[in-house]
A and B are shown apart, each in its own frame.
Chain A
Amino acid sequence: MRGGEAIIESLKNMGVKTIFGYPGGQTIPFYDMLYDADMDHILVRHEQAAAHAADGYARASGRVGVCLATSGPGATNLVTGIGTAYMDSSPIVAITGQVPTHLIGNDAFQEADIIGITMPITKHSYQPKDPDLIPSMIKSSFEIASTGRPGPVLIDVPKEVQEGELTEFRDDLIQTPGYNPTVKGNIKQIKKARDLIKEAKKPMILAGAGVIIANACCELKKLAKTINAPVMTSLLGKGAFDETDDLALGMLGMHGRKVSNDYINESDLLIAIGIRFSDRTTGRLDSFVPDTKVIHIDIDPAEIGKNVDVDLPIVGDAKNVLKSLNKVLDGYNPSDDVNNWTDMIKAKKQELMPRVSYDDVPLKPQTVIKEIAEVLTPESILTTDVGQNQMWAAHFFDTQKPRKFISSGGLGTMGFGFPAAIGAKVACPDDPVVSINGDGGFLMVCQELATVREYDLPVIAVVLENRTLGMVYQWQSLLYNNRHSQTLLGNSPDFVKLAESFGVNAVRITKPGETKEALSSAMKDNEPVLLNVVIDSEEALPMLPPGAGINEMIGEYKLEKDVI
């Protein structure tokens, strides 16, 4: 068996059926061996899309996603995707070709120190110098990528190592004495959490992606119901708790739901789970829950106390900790104080429901998202790009299940949504997959229309056409005196023609009702489709301006109850 075959064999042993990649000089040996192998490969049209697709695959399925690129420019094209996965704790394994070992360091053709380049954005990396090391390194990569706080791992394989014969196939895990994530929460701390919960009169829960990653959503639901506490989420926490539930308040943060942002500081106990308190979630730190006790549960000890001072830290896996917490809360009944508080919040939630009903033309994005929500089933996966489109989707779409809302949070990578949808579709072929994109971000990855066409991947791409780099445009409108420097996109391209040139059907949508209709029929057709939705370029969500506290949103928050 040769090195390249060992890569394929090891991936198969890890349960991998599909990889996303793009070949080149230093991976020709691997691709030659792949030619006969029982392994699906999706040829993306840009390596960045391979990394995002692997990421989308991982987030949708909870399994490790794999992407592949050649050395040099192929490898550097993966960087944005690796960085995106790193910031959002997504388990991917990126395999790159490298120039032959004897040329490393010589500035050989297409040589790049990709391990060095990606060091700050990978959880770990390997470079096998001998084909015998490949099986162990692949297995260890999967182990490290998917355990503890997940993240990307890179394996850089010199060309001659791909070609070299193994003396034997041994895949023992590589010893890593420095790597032992704390899974089990300290029971003393968990009992203290119980005591804080019992003392609290106005508890609230803030759930992040950690809850989803740990598959702890049932446990979270049990906790919320037991203690009758309202639940907010971060952007990436969407789906950790059914947002159609009475107790769900929706997203907190810079573009969060008004009820969450307005009332979080009134709580006397915040139970934060699997969340890293990003500045986009908290607003200015000294006015974030100043008088609230905070319990912070996270698997990464470095997140505890990093941004928000914590009264009670619990390091551990969210599922494990919540299970124990639910156990020690057995028999607990919330007091009248708690019930009154939660009733009050529930009433506020109804009152502060954001307005989604409009019959304006040009279309209001709120209405577009509402119509999408009306068509999608709870199983459907929604991916977003970055910008206003992302915030509209996050704000107005109620996500009911984990792994059904996929978005680039930490890095905020434009061009993520569509390739991530490709990965999600490969991971969950039976679930409808819709990506919501801006007209700017979609153009960064529109070449992937060829990928969905060639592989018949029925991904539905919604492009919200406002002819602006909307999110930046919005900041310029609000904070830079309407000086719209370099944020007007002009009239090119015609997205319908663009899609059609790839053989992908497309529909131009301009009026209320049309999104719903086009989306329903697209879902029936089970074909890749682009919905080109023309929207009002002046529409903007209220926001926290830089330096503002969580309850200091600017911009008018329009309410559904005011619709006449």
Chain B
Amino acid sequence: MESNYHVISTLVEDKPGVLQKVAGMFNRRGFNIDSITVGSSEVEGQSRMVISVHADEKGLEQVTKQLNKLVDVIKIKDITKTAVKRELCLVKVSVPNAKARAEIMQYSNIFRAHVLDVTDQTLMIELTGDKKKINAFISLVEGYGIKRIARTGLTAMSRGV
């Protein structure tokens, strides 16, 4: 993985405007967010945001400190090194013929993906994994013609207790 790619896990208050504040802060300080995912956490009234971002060491330090300053941000952790990272991807692939259908199903099996919807011309496949795995799957099925991709962006959690 590139050295300046970071995954930051933050615990924030579940209030209107918090996502805007966090995203706005990154933007204002000149950082591009790769992805940001938000959902409820184990604590009521608090959400967990997982942000992946490209930044050098100094930039990351600054962004972390600035994040910390937001009143609604409770905790921040850079979990790049320790985290299990997962993303969910839905992809709709064209199926030109029966041979293609068999091949795509086979790839899906290898990638432990699930077929969610079938028509005579398409397959909708659900896949979870890290970015690399998803990219690999997409490039495998690209040849058949991809009709649509929807990715959730990365969520992540540190290993261990």
Contact = CB atoms under 8 A, between A and B. Distances in A.
Interface of A: 115-116, 119-120, 123-125, 144, 176-179, 300-302, 305-306
A178 B70 contact: yes
Contacts of A125: 17
A301 B68 contact: yes
A119 B20 contact: yes
B65 interface: yes
Contacts of B66: 302
9 contacts: A115-B17, A119-B17, A119-B24, A120-B24, A120-B25, A120-B28, A178-B75, A302-B66, A305-B61
A123 B70 CA distance: 7
Interface in B123-159: none
Interface of B: 12-13, 17, 20-21, 24-25, 28, 58, 61-62, 65-66, 68-75
Nearest to A306: B62
A278 to B, nearest CB: 15
B13 A178 contact: yes
Contact of A178 (B12, B24, B58, B62): B12
A116 B24 CA distance: 10
Contacts of A178: 12-13, 68, 70-75
Contacts of A301: 65, 68
B65 A302 contact: yes
B71 to A, nearest CB: 5
A409 to B, nearest CB: 19
Nearest to A176: B71
Contacts of B28: 120
Nearest to A303: B65
Given A115-B17, A120-B28, A144 B68 contact: no
A81 to B, nearest CB: 20
A275 to B, nearest CB: 16
B48 to A, nearest CB: 13
Nearest to A153: B71
A178 B74 CA distance: 4
A178 B69 CA distance: 8
Contacts of A119: 17, 20-21, 24
A176 B71 CA distance: 7
Given A177-B74, A178-B74, A302 B13 contact: no
Contacts, number: 40
Nearest to A144: B71
B66 to A, nearest CB: 5
A300 B71 contact: no
Given A144-B71, A302-B69, A305-B58, 9 more contacts: A116-B20, A119-B20, A177-B74, A178-B68, A178-B70, A178-B71, A178-B72, A178-B74, A306-B62
Contacts of A115: 17
Contacts of B17: 115-116, 119, 125
A302 B71 contact: no
A120 B74 CA distance: 18
Give the most central of B13, B21, B69, B72: most A CB within 10 Å.
Answer: B69
Contacts of A305: 58, 61-62
B154 to A, nearest CB: 23
Nearest to B43: A177
Nearest to B12: A178
A133 to B, nearest CB: 13
A178 B13 CA distance: 8
A83 to B, nearest CB: 13
A144 B70 CA distance: 11
A302 B24 contact: no
Question: In the complex, which of the residues A115, A177, A178 has the most CB atoms of chain B within 10 Å of its own CB atom?
Answer: A178
B17 to A, nearest CB: 7
Given A119-B20, A119-B24, A177-B74, A302 B62 contact: yes
A306 B17 CA distance: 26
B64 to A, nearest CB: 9
Give the interface centre of A119, A125, A179, A302 by most chain B CB atoms within 10 Å. A302
A182 to B, nearest CB: 11
Nearest to B64: A302
B68 A302 contact: yes
B71 A179 contact: yes
Closest 4 CB pairs of A and B: A302-B65, A178-B74, A124-B71, A179-B71
A178 B75 CA distance: 7
Contacts of A176: 71-72
B65 to A, nearest CB: 4
A300 B12 CA distance: 20
B22 to A, nearest CB: 11
B115 to A, nearest CB: 40
Contacts of B20: 116, 119
A288 B81 CA distance: 35
Contacts of B68: 178, 301-302
Contacts of B69: 300, 302
A154 to B, nearest CB: 12
Nearest to B17: A115
Contacts of B62: 302, 305-306
A116 B62 CA distance: 23
Contacts of A144: 71
A124 B69 CA distance: 10
A276 to B, nearest CB: 13
Nearest to B58: A305
A177 B11 CA distance: 10
B26 to A, nearest CB: 11
A178 B45 CA distance: 13
A177 B76 CA distance: 13
Contacts of A123: 71
Nearest to A125: B17
B95 to A, nearest CB: 43
A124 to B, nearest CB: 5
B63 to A, nearest CB: 9
A178 B47 CA distance: 13
Contacts of B74: 177-178
A192 B133 CA distance: 49
A300 B66 CA distance: 9
Contacts of A302: 62, 65-66, 68-69
A144 B72 CA distance: 12
A300 B65 CA distance: 9
A125 B18 CA distance: 11
